[in-house]
Amino acid sequence: PRVVVLISGSGSNLQALIEAQSHDRLGGEIVAVISNEADAYGLKRARDAGIDAVALPHREYDSREAYDGALIKVIERHEPDLIVLAGFMRILTPRFVQRFLGRMLNIHPSLLPAYQGLNTHARALADETKQHGCSVHFVTEELDGGPVVLQAELNVTSDDDVESLKQKVQAREHLILPIAVQWFLQGRLQYSGDGATMDGHLL
Ligand code: GRF
């Protein structure tokens, strides 16, 4: 099976997927990495791993629709079975989501449905929440609202700040994203309507 990964930055989640693949723990092949930021370090990680690395700068397009149209074309050229958003910092148009609905996963740095959107660690700290973490979910038209397939939870400690929380969460992202991708590529995850099933069991 073929995987396309969309990034915008460092690509540490991409690196986790690359390493899972190199240890035969992904269940498929990352055939391309696409970034909306041309200087994303994740593009170097892709090139170093011999993976097709494509920069598609969104600033070169005059609308979200135009950009997503170009992005769809680049993605489809690689004929993926799965699209993974790994720190892809773009709001997707409904047309884009519908095109890949049911075969697009995202990693989000919170215990969804808590803290959809940005600045999740600062918001969790401000609320003095005790439990925090990360989630892999199917992408739907609702931002960070799709059915969750896998989460990792951690305890927030009194000495945590945004940076320490980010580090703790990212360490867990690097564990759960490859697992969720492998489950999907093994055909164990299904998206249906507003729910998702794992091995036929409603999640
Ligand atoms: C991750 O923490 C992810 O949860 C968030 O953006 C970050 C991307 O980090 N959406 P990286 O580019 O994978 O290192």
Report the pLDDT value the prediction gives residue 193, as an integer from 0 to 100. Answer: 82
| Integer Cα distance of 110 and 123 in angstroms | 10
Contact indicator for 177, 146 with CB cutoff of 8 Å: no
3-state helix vs strand vs coil in the chain, percent to 5: 35, 25, 40
The residue annotated as part of the active site, out of 78, 108, 132, 201, is 108
Distances (CA, A) of 157 to 167, 175, 181: 13, 21, 30
Q: Is the CB of 10 under 6 A from ligand 1?
A: yes
Instruction: For residue 101, report the phi and psi dihedrals to the nearest 5 degrees.
Output: -55, 130
**Can you tell me the ipTM of this complex?**
0.97
Which atom of ligand 1 lies at the shortest distance from residue 166's CA?
2
Query: Which amino acid is residue 146, in one-letter code?
Result: G
Tally Cβ neighbours within 10 Å of residue 142. 11
pLDDT digits (tens, 9 = 90+) for 116-175: 999 999 999 999 999 999 999 999 999 999 999 999 999 999 999 999 999 999 999 999
Structure tokens that stand for 183 in this block: 């489950």
From atom 7 of ligand 1, which residue's Cα is the shortest distance away? 87
Pair type for strands 104-108 and 131-138: antiparallel
From atom 10 of ligand 1, which residue's Cα is the shortest distance away? 87
pLDDT digits (tens, 9 = 90+) for 127-142: 999 999 999 999 999 9
